[in-house]
Structure 1
Amino acid sequence: MPQHITYTVSPFTPAALAEALSNQWVDAEATRRRQHFYYFAEYLGHEHDGLGARTIMVESPYLSQSFLDDYADYYARGFTAYERLCKRVHFFREAFDQAALEVALLDPQAGGELWNSYLGYIVIKPLPARQIGATLLQPYQPATDKQRAYPARRPYEINVLGKQLRLETLIFQEQDNNVSACATTALWMAFHKTASLFHTTQPSPYHITSAARNLFYRRGRTFPSTGLDHTQIGEAIQSVGLVADLTNYRQAAEWGADSEAAAVVLREQLRGAKGLIYAYVRLGLPVLLFILLDEREERGHLVTVTGYRLATSRTQCPVELALTSDALDRLYVHDDQMGPFARYGFTDDGRLLTPWPLDDWEPAGPWHAYRRASLYSIFVPLTADIRITYEQVFRQTVLFEQLFAGTIQERADVVWDIYLDYSNHYKEELRQRRPVEGEPLRRILVSVLPKYVWVARATLQQVALLDLVFDATDLHTGFYCLLVNVFEPLRDSLATWLGRDDFRQQLLAAPKFDPRFLPLLLRGLQVPVAEDV
């Protein structure tokens, strides 16, 4: 005889949320003492840009595929009989009662506002701890004064009591310390997006931990999991058919935590890290940050970057190359110990500002007391086809930027936007924005390009001046710039400058200019290429 789904509807309140997130092992009172409860209460609430939920609907039982995989591989093999079925908690922005839900379920012409207000769900696993399972929630909504972007999302089809809904987000769950610790969970979330980007596998947390293996560089065992080190994280990334692009960062303790030298280096490192994170996440790639919440104890934590926010005004930096990523003032991070799209900021001394509390967790404590963290390393899970790195493109752009020394009076105001892209996306963007018209645009659109390209775009007062287009699949020992696309209003003036023999000779003699850019410039401007180039 088939089992029936039960469902209850209640207004969204802290008490109702605590009850909904509890299970037979963890009651509502214990749930209210957990960090996740306070995070979700704020995230789903009506303050601090919350999603504004007004209704909770609890569905039980629910067969969660992600939990079922781990249950079959691990939990079912123990003596204690844990349940294999979960419950699912849904959230809506619209206020409604049980009767209104019944009408929306039975009448396909009714319930439009109800279904359109759907915010997502949280799965509650039947475990004695770490019960937050697969979670799909909308990100923070766009705001007129906040340029938020969440590229590392994908579409999910959701069936709510027979009603098909669609949500653009990235899956989240809490580590359970049995089949997965924070690193495994961060990888699991990232692999949900890389699977759709690169058509790679999407393993369960159990299989990620198993693939990482215990290489016995430290004590412990594979299961129960106590966490992954850097080598194991790399092993897990390679196990799904990707390569791990790893960048390590020096720590303040190497100079003395309070020294001015440490502060200078940390600020420089953070600026470079912002550029790297922005360049990859803009494509939709989730970036993994390994952070130290306590440098003295080396308490490491792995989180998954899913989005970012750009400040409306960029702080002027006394540097050679001003970047769009300098305006990055917020990261949106899937932090398994907090929740999805957790807000990470930056400090003036080159560290990260996390949503973690400063001291031992106190439920009544203020949320503004955030803990600082040090950036230890960054992992980017990439297809092996992408060989050229952000740092290589940045260095090439620095060599090209010397061109502006003699052609643009406002050179100090030129800002470079460096990012990874699909060549087809790049062409479509130019076709829509039309920074150049006619034959020059046609020549760009019919250019043969690799699937992945790096773009370094020079802008002046948010107007695109030119693009350097690099082959992201090229050999790192080569010169991988393919095109220099010059746009209006720079096109005519730059063609005039480059048409002068004396300026070309001056440019070729400049110690910081790579002469291999010159023929690309001339071809892009359709200026005859002289023998000297």
Structure 2
Amino acid sequence: MSTNTLAKNQFGKRPNNWIECEPFLKETFIDIVQKASSFLDEHSWEANPQVQYLSHYLTSLKAKSLVVEYHYIDRHFMEEASLYYSKSLIPRPNWTTRVHVFSDLMDEERIDEAMRTAASGYIAKVTEELQQSYCGYIVIRPLPSAPIGRTVLKHLKCREGDKKREFLTCQAYTIHFLGFELTVHGIAFQQQDRAVAACATTAIWSSLQRVTRREGARSPTSWEITEAAVRHYLPRGRPYPSSGLTIEQMCEALRAFGFAPDLLVAEESSSPNEFLLLMDIYLRSGIPIILTFRTGEWGHAVTVVGYGTSHKISTPYEISSGEKTYKIVLHNLDYDRIYIHDDRLGPYARSTLNIGKQSLTDNETSSPPQLAINIEWPNGQMEEHSVYLAAVPVYPKLRTSAKELFETAMELFPYLTEALSDLNQELGLLVYFERSGEYQASLYGKTVNPSRVPQFQKTIALSRYVGVHRWYLDGMPFMETLWDTTDTMRENRYGENLLGVTCLKPSLQTFVDGLASRYNAVLG
């Protein structure tokens, strides 16, 4: 049956879904995308870079089977079809195709047997078996040139030789598959369609997938984001087809959904390392970052969703205080790559942020080193661009910025260095924000004195988000200081904003007790 006949059989009739199972091959996946996206006969159709990238990514996930739902209602595309594509001369169908990815062999006989077994009272057992091999799903839109819609795939585990690969911005998505409730841990990606959504809209869309759902709200569609961005500020003419968003429009869109952005401008940072450090604070806090960079005359935006490193890169950094210079290991700089959702490419694309060399101007003065992003394409090609800024969608009551939280630690650092100098151990620091409930739960897995935990948990009053300074000696954590984030950090920040101190090393309990008493903080 041709794809054109497929579409004609659906228009004006009560829809029927149908399921097909296919063993995974790159060529098979590409054929499925062509069939599902070409609602007209498209003899000249070619797989674009996003489809090619996903075929490689599914190979890396060790996909074995694809289970295809050929009639799936996707809320995000349904709204775009209703408000934009339905008004075209050739209207698109308002349904999509959803491809489920499994790392085990699935065929029609096995699926039928799974449903019969579940109907016999063993649904929990069958669900668990399906869950073990479930890798996520890909929505295919009826847009031949931009077929990849809302896609949630699990991220790759650490490869051999990797020290770590962290995706703290990811979350659990619930999927209903033939009556079974499955989950996948990831963050949604989609390809820009250049009509309703350009790159900035898509980057915002991915970031809001995380932060809105984390606060109990429904994630907005691309249409809602574009409408919010251009509602009060439209310097480039008509919003549709979308030609992209300015920084002001991006900020307007984030504010419209309740997340005031913290803007980190690369050229305004005191150094590239400061920019990298502040980015890491937010990523470790589970907040995806919208990163913009220059590509020739145009700008481009991606969503940073993770970070990693392939080797130990902890090195001491010098901090000046008065006439003295101290050295500290900043664990927020222990990464040498980032993972991005790039709508020109695909989800979890690997890239690096590199500090360029200083260049000399005509008058022999040195210019600041530039921060560059290097994006790795599946064919091994590296694409380098100059970083412009990062926009961070921050929960409105999280009023303390990453920079303020870090600067607060630097004020305490000289005192700790002097007080612990007899130990002759290297002092280190990690800074991040955390939901207070999650922090309190984490205490049960840390080396806190068990006899102190009940009083600490019952006594301390925490803001919804707390700032955390985790202090290290020779790479081992010994103390955490907790900060109120619902106010700005004023001069007397230790008296006003320090909420509690927890000791993670029993031999230093007396020292930590004295620090907590000094600032009247709750002791753990």
TM-score of the alignment, normalized to the shorter chain, above 0.5: yes
Shift of 1:410: 6.3
Q: Does 2:98 correspond to 1:100?
A: no
Shift of 1:464: 1.6
Which whole-Å deviations, capped at 9, do the CAs of 1:71-120 have from their partners, x for residues lacking one? 11111122222211211122111123332233223332568645521111
User: Quick one: which of 129, 148, 151 aligns to 1:135?
Assistant: 151
Q: Does 2:73 correspond to 1:63?
A: yes
Counterpart of 1:378 in 2: which secondary structure?
A: strand
Counterpart of 1:226 in 2: which secondary structure?
A: coil
Distance 1:21-1:520 versus aligned 2 partners, 3 A rule = farther
Match of 2:137 in 1: 121
Q: Which moved more, 1:366-375 or 1:53-62?
A: 366-375
User: Quick one: which of 418, 435, 442 aligns to 1:429?
Assistant: 442
Letter in 2 for 1:520: R
Q: Does the 8 A contact of 1:465 with 1:490 survive in 2?
A: no
TM-score w.r.t. structure 2 length? Answer: 0.83
Distance 1:26-1:351 versus aligned 2 partners, 3 A rule = farther
Distance 1:475-1:348 versus aligned 2 partners, 3 A rule = closer
Q: Does 2:493 correspond to 1:473?
A: no
Provide the C-alpha distance between the structure 1 equivalents of 2:69 and 2:509, rounded to a whole number of angstroms: 64
Match of 1:335 in 2: 342
Counterpart of 2:300 in 1: which secondary structure?
A: strand
Provide the C-alpha distance between the structure 1 equivalents of 2:449 and 2:439, rounded to a whole number of angstroms: 14
User: Quick one: which of 88, 111, 123 aligns to 1:78?
Assistant: 88
Q: Does the 8 A contact of 1:405 with 1:411 survive in 2?
A: no
Distance 1:155-1:29 versus aligned 2 partners, 3 A rule = farther
Distance 1:318-1:450 versus aligned 2 partners, 3 A rule = closer
Q: Does the 8 A contact of 1:21 with 1:31 survive in 2?
A: no
Q: Does the 8 A contact of 2:516 with 2:522 survive in 1?
A: no
Q: Does the 8 A contact of 1:387 with 1:472 survive in 2?
A: yes
Q: Does the 8 A contact of 1:201 with 1:240 survive in 2?
A: no
Letter in 2 for 1:289: L
Provide the C-alpha distance between the structure 2 equivalents of 1:201 and 1:8, rounded to a whole number of angstroms: 31
Which whole-Å deviations, capped at 9, do the CAs of 1:435-463 have from their partners, x for residues lacking one? 33434773466212222110111112332
Provide the C-alpha distance between the structure 2 equivalents of 1:472 and 1:390, rounded to a whole number of angstroms: 10
Shift of 1:475: 2.9
Provide the C-alpha distance between the structure 1 equivalents of 2:512 and 2:261, rounded to a whole number of angstroms: 42
Provide the C-alpha distance between the structure 2 equivalents of 1:443 and 1:114, rounded to a whole number of angstroms: 42
State how many pairs are aligned: 476
Match of 1:260 in 2: none
Shift of 1:158: 1.1
Q: Does 2:511 correspond to 1:494?
A: yes
1:408-447 equivalences under 5 Å are 408-409=421-422, 413-439=426-452, 442-443=455-456, 446-447=459-460
Shift of 1:56: 1.6
Q: Does the 8 A contact of 2:233 with 2:249 survive in 1?
A: no
Percent identical:
26
Distance 1:195-1:91 versus aligned 2 partners, 3 A rule = same
Counterpart of 1:469 in 2: which secondary structure?
A: strand
Letter in 1 for 2:518: L
Counterpart of 1:429 in 2: which secondary structure?
A: helix
Letter in 1 for 2:304: V
Q: Does the 8 A contact of 1:427 with 1:444 survive in 2?
A: yes
Q: Does the 8 A contact of 2:501 with 2:516 survive in 1?
A: no
Provide the C-alpha distance between the structure 1 equivalents of 2:341 and 2:66, rounded to a whole number of angstroms: 23
Letter in 1 for 2:341: H
Provide the C-alpha distance between the structure 1 equivalents of 2:305 and 2:411, rounded to a whole number of angstroms: 31
User: Quick one: which of 146, 149, 153 aligns to 2:170?
Assistant: 153
Q: Does the 8 A contact of 2:460 with 2:499 survive in 1?
A: no
Letter in 1 for 2:184: L
Provide the C-alpha distance between the structure 2 equivalents of 1:150 and 1:76, rounded to a whole number of angstroms: 37
Match of 1:210 in 2: 227
Distance 1:27-1:120 versus aligned 2 partners, 3 A rule = farther
Distance 1:417-1:100 versus aligned 2 partners, 3 A rule = same
Q: Which moved more, 1:165-174 or 1:18-27?
A: 18-27
Q: Which moved more, 1:230-239 or 1:138-147?
A: 138-147
Shift of 1:387: 0.7
Distance 1:215-1:412 versus aligned 2 partners, 3 A rule = farther
Distance 1:315-1:492 versus aligned 2 partners, 3 A rule = closer
Match of 2:474 in 1: 461
Q: Does the 8 A contact of 1:444 with 1:485 survive in 2?
A: no
Provide the C-alpha distance between the structure 2 equivalents of 1:330 and 1:488, rounded to a whole number of angstroms: 31
Distance 1:133-1:492 versus aligned 2 partners, 3 A rule = closer
Q: Does the 8 A contact of 1:280 with 1:420 survive in 2?
A: yes
Counterpart of 2:19 in 1: which secondary structure?
A: strand
Match of 1:43 in 2: 57
Distance 1:303-1:445 versus aligned 2 partners, 3 A rule = farther
Distance 1:494-1:111 versus aligned 2 partners, 3 A rule = closer
Structure 1 unmatched ranges of 5 or more? 252-264, 358-365, 499-516, 527-533
Match of 2:364 in 1: none
Provide the C-alpha distance between the structure 1 equivalents of 2:142 and 2:434, rounded to a whole number of angstroms: 42
Match of 1:520 in 2: 518
Q: Which moved more, 1:60-69 or 1:78-87?
A: 78-87
Provide the C-alpha distance between the structure 1 equivalents of 2:403 and 2:476, rounded to a whole number of angstroms: 25
Shift of 1:163: 2.5
Distance 1:187-1:345 versus aligned 2 partners, 3 A rule = same
Counterpart of 1:21 in 2: which secondary structure?
A: helix
Match of 1:503 in 2: none
Match of 1:309 in 2: 308
Match of 1:4 in 2: 16
Provide the C-alpha distance between the structure 1 equivalents of 2:232 and 2:512, rounded to a whole number of angstroms: 59
Q: Which moved more, 1:372-381 or 1:111-120?
A: 111-120
Q: Does the 8 A contact of 1:208 with 1:236 survive in 2?
A: yes
Shift of 1:67: 0.4
Letter in 2 for 1:180: A
Distance 1:312-1:29 versus aligned 2 partners, 3 A rule = farther
Match of 1:355 in 2: 375
Shift of 1:224: 0.9
Letter in 2 for 1:187: I
Q: Does 2:332 correspond to 1:325?
A: yes
Q: Does the 8 A contact of 1:246 with 1:380 survive in 2?
A: yes
User: Quick one: which of 395, 398, 405 aligns to 2:407?
Assistant: 395
User: Quick one: which of 93, 97, 101 aligns to 1:91?
Assistant: 101
Which whole-Å deviations, capped at 9, do the CAs of 1:25-73 have from their partners, x for residues lacking one? 58597443x211231122111xxxx210011222212211110011111
Provide the C-alpha distance between the structure 2 equivalents of 1:485 and 1:111, rounded to a whole number of angstroms: 41
Which whole-Å deviations, capped at 9, do the CAs of 1:173-210 have from their partners, x for residues lacking one? 11111111111111112222122222345322112111
Q: Does the 8 A contact of 1:354 with 1:372 survive in 2?
A: yes
Distance 1:410-1:380 versus aligned 2 partners, 3 A rule = farther
Letter in 2 for 1:279: I
User: Quick one: which of 28, 31, 42 aligns to 1:19?
Assistant: 31
